[in-house]
Amino acid sequence: MNLAAKQAHQEPGTYWHCFPLQNQARRGIWHGIGADGVKFLDQAFPKATRVATRQQEMQIEFKCGSIWQMAGSDQYDSLVGSNVKGVVFSEWALCNPAAWDYIRPIIRENKGWACFITTYRGKNHAYQMYQAVKDNPDWYCTDMTVDDTERSPGVPVLTPADIQAERDEGMSEEMIQQEYYNSPMAAFAGAYYAKQMRDMVAGKRITRVAHEPTLPVVATFDLGIGGEDHAAVIYIQELGTEVRIVDSDSYQGTSIPDICREIRGKPFHVEHLYLPHDARHKGQNTGKSRQETYEKLLNVKSTLVESPPGSVNDGIEAVRNMLPNVWINEPENFNLIESLTGYRTEESSQPGVFRLTPLHSWESHLCDALRIYAYGRRLRISKRKRANYSHLDKAVC
């Protein structure tokens, strides 16, 4: 924030500070107070430098003409169109990686700058970015642990005794390695599929999985909830008990005809669709359901996966049970792999106690698409008629 304040007065323009989620931005910074009792906003942006402070937009306008605004990476599409000069991504590992792809052309055109603050939380897009640019002279990169970080020369932020106190008070070693030592091998706290994903890596089931032309391809969808303009599609083949994920895509602000055009352009033919139960609801403008629209545009039949109310955790368990039989085509499914690794619940107000429902984040959409398939697959398998061997029964005399 101090960097943004300095730059805003040296080069007037628009500056953003992005958190993973919009509500986190308001809670963590906009209303945040430092250990010294001073509000973060007042420390970084003294009121004497401001023209206006707009609570609703989380926006500050300075006398020098610059604008600083907080936002969530989950709402990045609403930011596109602004002529931003500098952007800070806080907790970059938790942000939607698509946000940077939308913003970076603006930054490059304006000869602006971007800053990414994070711990790794797995070998995800944050880790991959650091590995890609750490030797690039146009980037400044630093990877520091608690042992490397000082408030002033010779004065550590935390001492080894502080870290040991964390252990003694119940903080898991995995969390300590993640938060204090920036270990890329530490999993998300509360991650639903952490063990299954570690097993997949150890079993080398995240690898190159070629599409098999003799096997049918099915597509499973997440269509967003509550009017969200999101969609996610995963393409799957089955061979016996094996589930092979050959490709996947995510969409935001994309029409159904455009999604179907991309599906038809795949190097394989989709023979069946799995859709969430709310795909049957008819649109007010068209009078047709999304199920009808997808079936017509792709010329295939679909299965509506009927899941009872409150069954998200039941579906998550279905995915857990399926993952030991899953193979993922790594080159085409980086976002899916990262989504499965990061899909999680979050701590409640009581430390160490997690909520009963998933955190709704960018990872949710692909994970929901796989959950639809896993739940539908379980129902399909359970309905198979079992062989009747009663005619072979013999009495014992």
Give the pLDDT mean for 215-244: 87
Tell me, yes or no, whether 214 and 102 share the same domain. no
Q: What angle do CA 111, 112, 118 make, to 5 degrees?
A: 140
Residue 138 lies inside a defined structural domain of this protein: no
What residues make up the domain containing 61? 2-117
Share of the chain above pLDDT 90, in %: 50
Flag whether pLDDT at 384 surpasses 90.
no
What span, in angstroms and rounded, lies between the C-alpha atoms of 366 and 220? 9
Say which amino acid occupies 342.
Answer: G
The average confidence (pLDDT) of the chain is: 86
For residue 393, the model assigns a pLDDT of 65
- Report the alpha-carbon distance of residue 245 to residue 333 in Å, rounded: 8
Amino acid letter for position 145: T
Last-in-domain residue among 82, 117, 152: 117
Asked if residue 79 has pLDDT above 80, the reply is no
Terminal Cα distance for the chain, rounded: 88
- What are 23-65's pLDDT values in tens digits? 777 877 888 888 888 999 999 999 999 999 999 889 999 999 9
* Residue keyed to tokens 């020098």: 64
User: Phi and psi of 273, rounded to 5°?
Assistant: -120, 145
Angle made by CA atoms 376, 381, 385, in degrees to the nearest 5 = 135
The residue among 114, 111, 108 whose CA lies nearest residue 11 is 111
**Residues 67, 210: one domain?**
no
Q: Which residue has the tokens 């079936």?
A: 295
Say which CATH number the domain at 81 has: 3.40.50.300
Residue 10: Cβ within 10 Å count: 10
Structure tokens, 164: 């040991």
pLDDT of amino acid 322:
96
Burial class of residue 158 in the structure, from the number of CB atoms within 10 Å of its CB (0-12 exposed, 13-18 middle, 19+ buried): middle
CA dist., res. 317 & res. 255, Å (int): 31
| CA trace torsion 81, 87, 91, 93 (10° rounding) | 60
Same domain for 204 and 324, yes or no, is yes
- pLDDT the model gives residue 201: 85
Q: Are residues 282 and 373 in the same domain?
A: yes
Q: List pLDDT tens digits, range 279-337.
A: 988 877 778 899 999 999 999 999 999 766 557 888 899 999 999 999 999 889 988 99
Domain membership flag for residue 106: yes
* Half-sphere exposure of residue 157: CA atoms within 13 angstroms, side-chain side: 10
Indicate whether 209 belongs to any domain.
yes
For the segment 237-242, the average pLDDT, to the nearest whole number, is 94
Does residue 259 contact residue 233 with C-beta atoms inside 8 Å? yes
Threshold 0.75, pTM exceeds: no
Residue 226 pLDDT = 44
Could you tell me the sign of the dihedral formed by the alpha carbons of 333, 335, 338, 344, in that order? negative
Sheet harboring 270-276: ordered strands across?
Answer: 206-207, 326-329, 242-252, 230-239, 217-222, 270-276, 301-305
Q: Are residues 221 and 79 in the same domain?
A: no
- 45 is written with which tokens? 């942006």
Q: What is the CATH number for 253?
A: 3.30.420.280
